[in-house]
Amino acid sequence: MQRLSQSPTDPAFVQDPYAFYDRARAAGPVVFWEDYNLPCVFGFAAANQILRDRRFGREIPEDKRPPIAPHTAPFYAIEAHSMLELEPPRHKRLRGLVLRAFTSRRIEALGPEIDSLVDDLIGKLPEGPFDLLPAFAETIPVIIIARLLGVPEEMKDQLLAWSHAMVGMYQAGRTRAMEDAAARASTEFTAFLRDYVETRRRRPGDDLITSLIGAEEAGDKLSTDELIATCILLLNAGHEATVHAIGNGVKTILEAGGPKDWLAPDKVEATIEETLRFDPPLHMFTRWAYERIEVMGHVFEPGDEVAVMLGAANRDPSMWENPSVFDPGRPAKPNLAFGVGLHFCVGAPLARMELVRALPKLFAACPDLRLAGPADYAMKYHFHGLEQLIVQR
């Protein structure tokens, strides 16, 4: 196993991680990334195998769990009930109960609301150079997920603040100040939702929180702590990923010369999938080995951790021809932007629908939209989203 070094907080890497990914992929199917002190897989086949293999999982083995520092306890109290961090049987129970409430019919019913919100935001876009992220990309997912859950949408700025603080715990090079901010956000977010859930128990509404309260299978329901963790997961993961996906998608299309006919009704879904493949919002997910497992000639022992590099796998030349070229017309193949297997993103259908509905409307209303400033990525690796997206109509 070859060893490579690349700081994940190096500004040049954050702006373009793909050159390192190509070098790492060429070094072998499993490469040791010294800066993370982890074996990593950068190719599609190995990534797909690990994400699908139930002998790998998210839940940290008991003997590998580090002590929780007291100042981070509020954050990890939520993580303890998040299905993102759990494995069966508890993961199966939680995901099953969530899917009973988070149905495809409920998601599809949001379509007209997304259309109306997008139209309203487009109507408010300024004429001069402006940042598309707060004016458009950030607003859509946070308002839609707030409406879905039944949380007052006028709280969107507070929800965004809590979300940004909490996901700081996953970033490379996190500091004590970031940990303190995440703990405060966790405490405040939990207190708000605990009160809101109790309100919904007394006065049910037509929203996801009410449905989650009532979700039941064989007499089993979500506990209040599980319900709170699920709502926070849906808000944080759904918002962060979709904002980045919208921003990255618009940037990609503009840099490729504009939408051409790529966003026509019969082509828009393929174009959105290509933006997700080409520049996905999340670049790394880790797994733990629960048994002795061989992957592409490398043996993982029980308790070994491995990083699956989603952004790199999506540009594997053994899977896609000319993978560094944005080509919405390429043959359809599954990508790993939302993962695959047991932990496939539960919010992926909603994120895709927001993208499919928002981007065609944006470019139809602003046919001359162009970049009017640097589109730099935020220093938040392994999240991959823009700091700003300055455009001109």
Please report which confidence band the pLDDT of residue 374 belongs to, taking 50, 70 and 90 as the band edges. Answer: confident
Instruction: Decide: residue 43, CB within 10 A, 0-12 exposed, 13-18 middle, 19+ buried.
Output: buried
Output the CA torsion 190→195→199→205 (10° steps): -20
pLDDT of residue 216: 81
Instruction: Average the pLDDT over each of 134-148, 227-241, 375-389 and give the range with the smallest value.
Output: 227-241
Question: Of the candidates 92, 136, 133, which has an alpha carbon nearest to the alpha carbon of residue 118?
Answer: 136
Rounded Cα distance, 150 and 153, in Å = 8
Burial class (CB in 10 A: 0-12, 13-18, 19+), 330: middle
The CATH number that applies at residue 168 is 1.10.630.10
Number of compact structural domains in the chain: 1
Q: Give the pLDDT of residue 102.
A: 86
Q: How far is CA 100 from the centre of its chain?
A: 22
- How far apart CA 201 and CA 230 sit, in angstroms, is 16
Please give the pLDDT value at position 268.
Answer: 97
| C-alpha torsion angle, residues 323, 337, 312, 132 (rounded to 10) | 80
Q: Are 94 and 226 in contact (CB under 8 A)?
A: yes
**pLDDT tens digits, residue range 154-171?**
998 999 899 999 999 999
* Nearest of 86, 151, 89, 14 to residue 163 by alpha carbon: 151
pLDDT of residue 351: 95
pLDDT at 239: 76
**Strand positions, DSSP E, the chain:** 3-4, 31-33, 38-41, 56-57, 130-131, 284-289, 293-295, 298-300, 305-309, 370-371, 390-392
Give 27's pLDDT tier (boundaries 50, 70, 90).
very high
| Host domain of residue 181 | 3-392
> Which pTM was predicted?
0.95
SS3 132: helix
State both tokens at 262. Answer: 């790529």
How sure is the predictor about 73, in pLDDT bands with cuts at 50, 70 and 90?
Answer: very high
d(CA 47, CA 192): 38
307 forms beta bridges with: 40, 286
* Digit-coded pLDDT (tens) for 80-121: 999 999 999 999 999 999 998 889 999 999 999 999 999 999
* pLDDT > 70 fraction of the chain, expressed in percent and rounded: 100
